[in-house]
Amino acid sequence: MKSFRSSLLRNIPASFHDTFKPMLSLNGAERPEAKSLLKLTHFGDPLVMTIVYLDSLVQRGNLEKSQFYKNLPNMLKQLPLKICLYRMLPTLFSECSNRDMIPFVLQNILIIAELCSKEEYAVHIFPKLCRIFKMTQPIQIPLLLLKNMRTLLSQTNDGETKAYILPMLFSSIEIENSQLQVCYYILAACIYILYVKISMQSSKF
C-alpha cells in the first residue's frame, strides 16, 4: 500500500503532498472532510476562488450575480483560455435567458471572444451571440456591442457579418438614446468599412 501511495504522490506537485497524504489513509477518521479541504490555502488563490464561486452562482440572486460579473473582467485575462471556453462561457450564456442580466455578462463574453481564435469564436461564441444581436433593450446591450465592434468584425467571417452584424448596426441607428450618441461615429465608420468590403467582394464575381 505504501508503494501505491508513493507512486500516486510522484504524479502530484510536492507542494500538495502534505494535503494529499491524509486523503490516502485507510483509516476514515484520518481522512479530511470535503468542507475542510475548501479552507486549504490552495483554494485561496483568487483565480481558484473565482471558479469555485462560479459553481455556486445558481443559488444566488441577481444582485450578487451582477456584482460578480462586474468584477469578472479583471480575472478572465488571467485564466487559461480552456477554462474560459468550457467553464465560464456556458454559465455566461445560460444567464442570457434573463434579459436583465445580459448587460452584466455580455462584456465578459466579448472579452473571451477577443482572446480566442476565429475557429473557437465560430464554434463557441458566435452562434449564441446571434440572438443578442437582435436585441435593442436594455440599451446597454447595443451599447456594448458597438463599443466592441472591432472584436466582432475581426472575429466574424464576411458572410455572417453581412447577415447578422450589418442589420444590427442599422437597427442601432434607429434607437433614440443619448448613451448611444457617443458610439455613432463608431457606427458610421463600421457601416462604411462593411459596405466597402462587401462591394469589393461583389466586384470579384
φ/ψ (deg, to 5) at 176: -95, 100
Give the pLDDT confidence of 33-66 residue by residue, as tens digits: 666 666 665 555 667 778 878 888 878 888 999 9
- In angstroms, the CA 185 to CA 183 distance is 6
Give the pLDDT confidence of 164-187 residue by residue, as tens digits: 988 888 787 777 666 665 565 566
- Asked if 145 and 168 touch (Cβ cutoff 8 Å), the reply is yes
Q: Residue 117: is its pLDDT beyond 70?
A: yes
The set of cell numbers assigned to 139 is: 440599451
- What's the predicted TM-score (pTM) here? 0.72
Give the pLDDT confidence of 65-84 residue by residue, as tens digits: 999 999 999 889 888 999 99
pLDDT band at residue 1 using 50, 70 and 90 as cut-offs: very low
- In angstroms, the CA 50 to CA 67 distance is 12
**7-25 burial, b for 16+ CB within 10 Å, e for fewer?**
eeeeeeeeeeeeeeeeeee
